[in-house]
Structure 1
Amino acid sequence: MWPVSRSSRPKQFLKFGTEHSLLQNTLLRCQAELFDDRPIIVGAKGHRFLIAQDLQEIGMSSDIVLEPVARSSCAAIAVACLQAERRAQEAIVLVLAADHHIPERGAFVRAVEVSLDDVAGGNLMTFGITPDHPATGYGYILPGERLVAGHRIDRFIEKPDRVQAEELVASGYLWNSGNFLFRADAFLAELQRRQPDVLAAVSAALDKARTDLDFLRLDEEAFCTSPRVAVDNAIFERTEKAGVLPVDYDWSDIGSWDELTKVLPADANENVTVGDAAIVDGRRNVVHSDGKLTALLGVDDLAVISTRDVVLVTARSRAQDVRSLVGTLTASGRSEANEAMQIFRPWGNYERLESTQGYQVKRITVNPGGVLSLQSHQHRAEHWVVVDGCAEATIEDAVCTLEANQSIYVPAGSRHRLANRGNDPLVLIEVQTGTYLGEDDITRFDDVYGR
């Protein structure tokens, strides 16, 4: 979903024109008596404040466990199971990808309920989606012998080509949703049998974990010793206890811009738009525009994605190949491949509006109660102009209050801090000038967030 989704702010934190992000919808989907009211989120340390903000927006709390490095799904699920067992010895764990679209909440909850009898018998269940077309972007599962509600899994097939996908759909295969349900002890027993090195590494990382604000940070040295293996390959394709429940609710992993047509309504010409967009004499187009008007004339079957720093134009039939384009851009050193214009911090966020030799302009939003670190910069000065809210500015030993339309100058080398003591967001424009404007030109003297 590049360029809107980037490694610094991936798609699970995006809203795609809807009220909630994909992560928020995943959490809200599990608000039922069937589920524990405090989920466990295993995520990357670089995304910790994005996770916290999403939770805050929907008024939920969670155990947030931070991975120091990525070790694929097997290690992440092992972390969640061990954490769940600390709460309850007979814990049942529902493992959900944070970025899937399942609009039918009732059907989803019923599917989980129906699977509990099979889970009680020690089976490791997954949910198989009944295909409505021969997709090439999903793995496939062949259901076999009947269990209580689901089926034993006879065979896994990785992402097929078009011809094979048509054959698989005709033969009764299901899409592999990558969502799972099992007893924590049953999964950990299979993990000990199939991937003991993963379990040993994760157990040590959790035993040595430390609390940081609202986060639990896994020990990096221990966690790094875990093999990087996906749970499908490591466990489900090898165990005789794997089962699948066929389901027919709407589902998408929103893996490409073409998939956005499953999430948002189309117009009379089958065009799907998000943001400021206009289409004349065009059909079956997908347009996502952040900020500027994006206009199409006389074209069909395109995905046109416009952000502040990137415009992507691709045939919808090639939307799955965008990741290869990102790989090429990364290899060539283009920062746009991975870095988003809007960067989130524990106190709020900032957005780069313009950057060139000698100066940079940012829009900074400080949440109510947010406090930036007491810091200094060797190579740049800063000018702050408040446009909304009320700022408390500290420069050396002087503290002053700035309201809308007021400004202050921060000399290079001076100790300074910005805070929002009010109840409304503080928005200001920061103009940086100097010989070097990198984010690593910072010395912190005090930080309430422990950075």
Structure 2
Amino acid sequence: MIHLVLLSGGSGTRLWPLSNSTRSKQFLKVLRDANGNHVSMVQRVFGQIGSVDADIDITIATCASQEESIRRQVEGDYALVLEPERRDTAPAIMLACANLALQRGAGEGDTVIVMPIDSYADQAYYDSVVRLDEAVQSDFAELVLMGVEPTYPSGKYGYIVPAAGEAWPRRVERFTEKPDEGTARELISQGALWNCGVFAFRLGWLTGLTGKYLECGTFEEFRSRYSELPKNSFDYEVVERASSIGAVSYAGEWKDLGTWNTLTDEMAEFTSGRVIVDSKTCENVHVINETGFPMVVAGISDSVVVATPDGILVSGKEASANIKAEVNAVAESRPMYEQRSWGEYRVIDSCVFPDGAKALTKELIIREGCQLDYQRHTYRGEVWTVISGTGEVVLDRLVQQVRAGSVVQIPSGTPHSARAVVGDLHVIEVQHGEILVKEDIDRIGLFWNE
């Protein structure tokens, strides 16, 4: 049995405004499968893992804000381990391994392989887990990495420098983090590999290291004391301190689709949404419009134009890789658009009045047969206006039928919910009060039994 831990993190800033803290890049359905269907990076990766000829047990290590997206997109058997807080990759991997050891009964001698959940690679990349397992079980090294054979001298990646030799695996001599182009070229001449963030080891080796920080008898206790683990990357906290490291190589396609210039290379269409692009004056331009407003693009080349409820980006493709500081300066603290298990919502407007009162307007789309959580708010009241569809609304356990034109007043503190009965239920929600924050919600459960 190979225990494969997939790391799903990221705040979405490099692909802003299409991605955000709840809709990270790995969930964007901008790729195509073999049948031409739109799929996300996560769905593509799971399809490739399913084709590996090995007995694989999958764990997804992620944060609570991504739980709904994963459950909505990923089918089949897997374990979901949620971080109580974001603390980087070292504690996230330790948490996943604690779950394997303390809750799921995995053996200390079992192989654990850690991979990013959003790699864009050939099938051979995922087939390599078999080689990693063989290297770990042969006790070649305590920690075995997989490196990608470079195709050009990139300064974007870290490099693994292995010992000379013909056969793999090989011992690792040293690491070099994001060198300049000249140094990268020299490293490649020495046989160096790109570090793609793939780690393999025996479960007992990692839990032994974790015991230096935290000793727990149950997984529940381990998770409750998660903040005691070092807030650091696995590379810095574990890899650089390991005394016995080996590596295997992978030669094939591998990309980090984390920026607009790399993601657009793999997108099937140049435009999405209500867009007109002047083909006579534009070249190599990708445009995504999720706002519903008409958009015309003319006279630009090698660029990306993206408009969503979270914001608007107009950038050259190469420059789009370096917009993190600008995005952090302008992006809203809360997502303006979010997909949920019951449907989706988008923020339409937000305003503050002279007396300090605030209003926030959202469009809710509740899918047919789905319902909101039965919930209440401490600080805000809400007014719901039904625009389309037929459904039911419950206020303090009193159920009423609603349809287009229905208006429902929801005072603060009142438990409430809604469900769509015939067709999707489109609702305009106006929140009002002095404090309008996403965290002002007390979820009671589901009102209607499913």
Question: Cα 1:150–1:13, aligned 2, differ >3 Å: closer, same or farther?
Answer: same
User: Do the aligned partners of 2:380 and 2:436 also contact (CA within 8 Å) in 1?
Assistant: no
Identity of aligned residues (%): 23
Structure 2 distance, partners of 1:375, 1:441, is: 11
Q: Does 2:231 match 1:231?
A: no
**What code does the residue aligned with 1:108 have?**
Y
Instruction: Provide the residue aligned with 2:136 in structure 1.
Output: 119
Distance 1:239 1:366, change over 3 A: same
Question: How many angstroms does 1:259 deviate by?
Answer: 1.0
Aligned to 2:432: 434
SS in structure 1 at match of 2:301: coil
1:275 positional shift: 4.4
Match of 1:180 in 2: 199
Corresponding residue of 2:288: 288
Compute the displacement of 1:23 (Å).
Answer: 2.3
Q: Cα offset for 1:164?
A: 2.7
- Hey, what's the Cα distance between the residues in 1 that align with 2:88 and 2:443? 36
Shift of residue 68, structure 1, vs aligned partner? 1.3
Letter aligned with residue 428 of structure 2:
E
Q: What SS does the corresponding residue of 2:179 show, helix, strand or coil?
A: coil
How many Å apart are 1:176 and its aligned residue?
Answer: 0.8
Correspondent of 2:60 among 41, 50, 53: 41
* Aligned residue runs from structure 1 range 367-382, under 5 A: 367=367, 368-375=369-376, 379-382=380-383
After TM superposition, give the deviation of residue 177 of structure 1 in Å. 0.6
Structure 1 residue 323, shift from structure 2 partner: 1.5
- Give the Å deviation of 1:445: 7.8
Give, in whole Å, the separation in 2 of the partners of 1:260 and 1:33.
Answer: 25
SS in structure 2 at match of 1:400: strand
CA contact (8 A) 1:363 1:430 kept: yes
Name the SS for the 2:334 alignment partner.
coil
Give, in whole Å, the separation in 2 of the partners of 1:414 and 1:206.
35
CA shift for structure 1 position 337: 4.6
**Displacement, 1:159?**
1.3
2:320 corresponding residue in structure 1: 319
What's the offset of the Cα at 1:225? 1.0
The number of residue pairs the alignment matches comes to: 414
What is the aligned partner in structure 2 of residue 410 from structure 1? Answer: 409
Distance 1:275 1:360, change over 3 A: same
Provide the secondary structure at the position in 2 that maps to 1:228. coil
TM-score, normalised relative to structure 1:
0.80
Q: 1:124-273 maps to which residues of 2 (within 5 A)? A: 124-146=143-165, 149-189=168-208, 191=209, 196-197=212-213, 200=214, 203=216, 206-208=219-221, 218-219=223-224, 222-265=225-268, 272-273=270-271
User: What's 1:352 paired with?
Assistant: 347
**Paired residue for 1:77?**
93
- Greater fraction of residues in helix: 1
In 2, distance between residues paired with 1:447 and 1:35? 40
> Partner letter of residue 418 of structure 1?
S
Aligned residue runs from structure 1 range 17-96, under 5 A? 18=32, 19-32=38-51, 34=53, 39-55=58-74, 59-85=75-101, 86-89=104-107, 90-96=109-115
For the residues of structure 2 that align with 1:425 and 1:148, how far apart are their CA atoms? 61
Q: Which runs of 5+ in 2 are unaligned?
A: 1-14, 33-37, 353-357
Cα drift, residue 47 of structure 1: 2.5
RMSD, aligned α-carbons: 3.1
Q: Is the 8 A contact 2:309 2:346 kept in 1?
A: no
- Structure 1 pair 188–433 and aligned structure 2 pair: CA distance change class (3 A): closer
**Cα distance, 1:158 vs. partner?**
0.8
Q: Distance in 2 between matches of 1:49 and 1:442?
A: 19
> Structure 1's 283 and 240: CA in aligned 2 closer, same or farther, altered over 3 A?
farther
